[in-house]
């Protein structure tokens, strides 16, 4: 292990849970620098410790780097073409080019997938919730390692053409596209509604 990776692991271990929760921000602008595979494996490992009903662990991930992001790009392009049937020739090609570029907004894109278990006790809504919690674990771990990330979704994520592009099973669903890399921005300080305004206490 390189000195740099050793230092990153040590720094990540120093970040407390509450510090990570309060300090994490959505980072939309990321440097093109590659992220070490060992760090990606560490944040995926953190994701795998999310809770799930009956310990079904209903998640899997597709990690796209380099030209591996082209699968995502083709998914965006197919959806873009389907949503603009009036475009032809150069106009269509320009639209497809822009759609494909969406997959290259960060050096790493992780598709988080809810992959429901065969366990008869499993409830689909609970499986989806568990996969989404795994994404939160991943985001917190990425922050601890000094990475920036943003959880993207939107209509294309739910389009059958995207499921086809990423070769999902019929019963699987995308829950997040995580665009990840080293930050190239300082996020603004977020505002939070006081939790007292969103809490009801029922006491005896």
Four-point Cα dihedral 82, 99, 28, 116, nearest 10: 50
SS3 148: strand
| 53 annotated as belonging to a binding site for a ligand | yes
| 70 annotated as belonging to a binding site for a ligand | no
How many residues comprise the chain? 204
Four-point Cα dihedral 134, 139, 140, 146, nearest 10: 150
CA 124 to chain centroid: 20
| 25 annotated as belonging to a binding site for a ligand | yes
Alpha-carbon distance 107 to 31, whole Å? 8
| 26 annotated as belonging to a binding site for a ligand | yes
| H-only helix segments in 116-204 | 124-144, 155-158, 160-165
Residue 4: Cβ within 10 Å count: 9
Residues in CB range of 125: below 8 A, 6 or more apart: none
- Tokens 């920036």 belong to which residue? 148
Binding residues for FMN: 24-26, 53, 151-153
Q: Which residues are annotated as a binding site?
A: 24-26, 53, 151-153
């Amino acid at each position: 292990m390189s000195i740099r990776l050793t230092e990153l692991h040590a720094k990540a271990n120093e970040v407390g849970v509450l510090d990570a929760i309060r300090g994490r921000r959505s980072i939309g602008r990321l440097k093109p620098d590659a992220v070490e595979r060992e760090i990606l494996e560490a944040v995926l490992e953190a994701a795998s410790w999310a809770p799930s009903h009956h310990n079904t662990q209903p998640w899997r991930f597709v990690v796209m780097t380099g030209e591996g992001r082209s699968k995502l790009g083709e998914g965006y392009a197919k959806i873009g073409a389907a949503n603009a049937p009036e475009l032809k020739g150069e106009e269509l090609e320009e639209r497809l080019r822009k759609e494909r570029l969406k997959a290259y907004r960060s050096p790493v894109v992780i598709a988080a997938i809810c992959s429901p278990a065969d366990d008869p006790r499993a409830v689909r809504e609970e499986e989806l919730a568990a996969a989404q919690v795994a994404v939160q674990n991943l985001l917190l771990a990425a922050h601890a390692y000094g990475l920036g990330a943003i959880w993207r979704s939107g209509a294309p994520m739910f389009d059958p053409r995207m499921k086809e592009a990423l070769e999902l099973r019929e019963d699987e669903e995308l829950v997040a596209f995580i665009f990840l890399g080293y930050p190239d921005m300082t996020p603004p300080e977020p505002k939070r509604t006081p939790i007292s305004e969103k809490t009801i206490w029922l006491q005896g």
